[in-house]
């Protein structure tokens, strides 16, 4: 299992469009991916679970991935978050 910590810096956090992008990216990997925030845990491949966390701008999350492509998965998700989901 591999873990990383990230801060959401895009203007609106993980609202519908970025959450969908996040889920789509995570679903491209076979590893199990989980988001941890505020004592809650969500399946990163479920848009409803992610939206339920209420992640706004500045939220600090921990991502864990467990599986054969966990490192590659976290690198891709980190790039998506740090690229502000293409929001400029």
Q: Kindly report, residue by residue over 35-73, the tens digit of the pLDDT.
A: 999 999 999 999 999 999 999 999 999 999 999 999 999
3 state DSSP class of 69: coil
The count of structural domains within the chain is 1
How far apart are the C-alpha atoms of 55 and 23, rounded to whole Å? 14
Q: Tell me the whole-structure pTM to 2 decimals.
A: 0.94
Instruction: Report the catalytic residues.
Output: 15
Q: Write the CATH number for 43.
A: 3.30.1340.10
Cα–Cα dist 57/65, whole Å: 23
For residue 9, how many C-alpha atoms fall within 13 Å in the half-sphere facing its CB?
Answer: 12
Q: For residues 74 and 84, give the distance between their C-alpha atoms in angstroms, rounded to a whole number.
A: 15
Domain that holds residue 75: 2-86
Cα separation, 27 vs 57, whole angstroms = 23
């Amino acid at each position: 299992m591999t873990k990383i910590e990230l801060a959401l810096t895009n203007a609106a956090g993980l609202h519908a469009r970025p959450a969908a992008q996040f889920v789509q990216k995570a679903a491209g990997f076979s590893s199990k991916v989980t988001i941890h925030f505020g004592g809650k845990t969500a399946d990163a491949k479920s848009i409803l679970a992610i939206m339920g966390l209420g992640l706004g701008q500045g939220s600090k999350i921990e991502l864990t991935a467990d599986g054969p492509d966990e490192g590659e998965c976290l690198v891709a998700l980190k790039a998506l978050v740090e690229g502000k989901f293409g929001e400029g």
